[in-house]
């Protein structure tokens, strides 16, 4: 009788499980929101669609990974995880007091420090493009009442 090889999770399997766990958590958070339908979307419609897509992607990734040998996981990259998480939290706290323009600039610079540092000109170009795209989408096209500049107290 041969011994069964030990189960070793791979990068893709762990990513798949993360997608599924986040999606299930999202579905739980959206449980009280009215879903509606494609022609009459409620506040829970889009979050549910995103969660369903995440579950499908996670399931597909898990099945593909279980059918072939994947790469073993590496150690944690603490610096990128902390900087990107801090950047997301900073966005939530900075939007009202300093406006969308300053918030995007600050959080982009903070998040860019998580990887290889961009040259100053490239970083400035990235910040400018992100500001233009976000202002164009959310303020101009969708007419969302997001302050662009710092609020005067």
DSSP 120-140: HHHHHHHHHHHHHHHIIIIII
As a whole number of angstroms, the distance between CA 131 and CA 148 comes to 10
Q: How many beta carbons lie within 10 A of that of residue 43, not counting itself?
A: 12
Q: Model confidence over 2-46: pLDDT tens digits?
A: 666 666 788 889 999 999 999 999 999 999 988 888 788 888 888
pTM: 0.64
| Residue found under tokens 């903070």 | 110
**3-class secondary structure, 56:** helix
What CA–CA distance (Å, rounded) separates 21 from 79? 23
End-to-end CA distance of the chain: 77
The string of pLDDT tens digits covering residues 61-119 is 999 988 887 787 787 788 999 999 999 999 999 999 999 999 999 999 999 999 887 89
Based on the number of CB atoms within 10 Å of its own CB, is 110 exposed (0-12), middle (13-18) or buried (19 or more)?
middle
- Angstrom distance (rounded) from CA 122 to CA 118: 6
As a whole number of angstroms, the distance between CA 55 and CA 61 comes to: 10
For range 115-125, the mean pLDDT: 91
> How far is CA 152 from its chain centroid?
31
In the block, which residue shows the tokens 């944690």?
76
């Amino acid at each position: 009788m041969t011994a069964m090889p030990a189960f070793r999770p791979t990068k893709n399997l762990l990513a798949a499980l993360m997608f599924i766990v986040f999606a299930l958590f999202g579905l739980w958070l959206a449980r009280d929101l009215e879903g509606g339908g494609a022609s009459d979307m409620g506040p829970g419609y889009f979050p549910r669609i995103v969660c369903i897509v995440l579950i499908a992607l996670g399931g597909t990734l898990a099945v593909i990974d279980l059918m072939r040998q994947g790469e073993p996981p590496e150690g944690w990259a603490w610096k990128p995880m902390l900087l990107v998480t801090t950047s997301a939290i900073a966005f939530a706290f900075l939007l009202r007091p300093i406006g969308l323009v300053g918030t995007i600039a600050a959080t982009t610079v903070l998040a860019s420090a998580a990887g290889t540092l961009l040259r100053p000109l490239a970083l400035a170009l990235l910040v400018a493009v992100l500001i233009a795209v976000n202002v164009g989408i959310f303020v101009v096209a969708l007419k969302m009442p997001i302050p662009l500049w710092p609020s005067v107290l």
